[in-house]
């Protein structure tokens, strides 16, 4: 991804933003569209609890990306999601397990639940 410290040339991005952006924006819906030249990702906050046919929502952000950056973003998201799945799998190991051990995962998360099967199985 852009700004990767392991990339050739060793460039590091030093990005700053004001306190009004620290909280970010919450979205529970996204729409992706594209043209011949770019991708557009529109993030919205949608009220799913409304029982009406038309569900109200508000756009919280719209981002336009080049095709190259979109590919880099997808790769970074897939990598991050795989790391999250691994962490959640460790966190959700059943107490006791096959050897009767158990305990708290190294990251301090709680145990319990079951491990979901890996994708494609």
Bridge-based pairing state of the strands 29-34 and 57-66: unpaired
Q: Is position 3 within any domain? A: no
Give the model confidence (pLDDT) of 4-59 as tens digits: 555 566 889 898 888 988 888 999 999 999 999 999 999 999 998 888 888 899 99
pTM of the model: 0.61
**Domain assignment of residue 76, given as a range:** 24-91
What whole-number distance in Å separates Cα of residue 65 and Cα of residue 58?
A: 21
47 belongs to a structural domain:
yes
Total tally of structural domains belonging to the chain? 1
* Structure confidence at residue 8 (pLDDT): 60
pLDDT above 80 (res 82): yes
Tell me if 63 is assigned to some domain.
Answer: yes
Residue 119 confidence (pLDDT) above 80: no
Q: Provide the mean pLDDT of the chain.
A: 79
Alpha-carbon distance 116 to 85, whole Å? 9
User: With pLDDT > 90 as the criterion, what percentage of the chain qualifies?
Assistant: 45
């Amino acid at each position: 991804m852009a700004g990767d410290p392991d990339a050739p040339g060793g460039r590091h991005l030093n990005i700053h933003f004001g306190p009004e952006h620290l909280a970010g924006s919450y979205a529970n819906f996204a729409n992706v569209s594209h043209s011949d030249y770019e991708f557009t990702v529109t993030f919205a906050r949608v009220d799913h609890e409304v029982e009406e046919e038309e569900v109200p929502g508000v756009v919280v952000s719209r981002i336009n990306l080049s095709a190259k950056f979109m590919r880099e973003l997808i790769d970074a998201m897939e990598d991050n999601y795989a790391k999250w799945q691994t962490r959640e799998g460790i966190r959700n190991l059943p107490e006791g397990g096959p050897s009767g051990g158990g305990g708290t995962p190294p990251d301090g998360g709680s145990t319990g639940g079951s491990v979901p099967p890996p994708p494609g199985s």
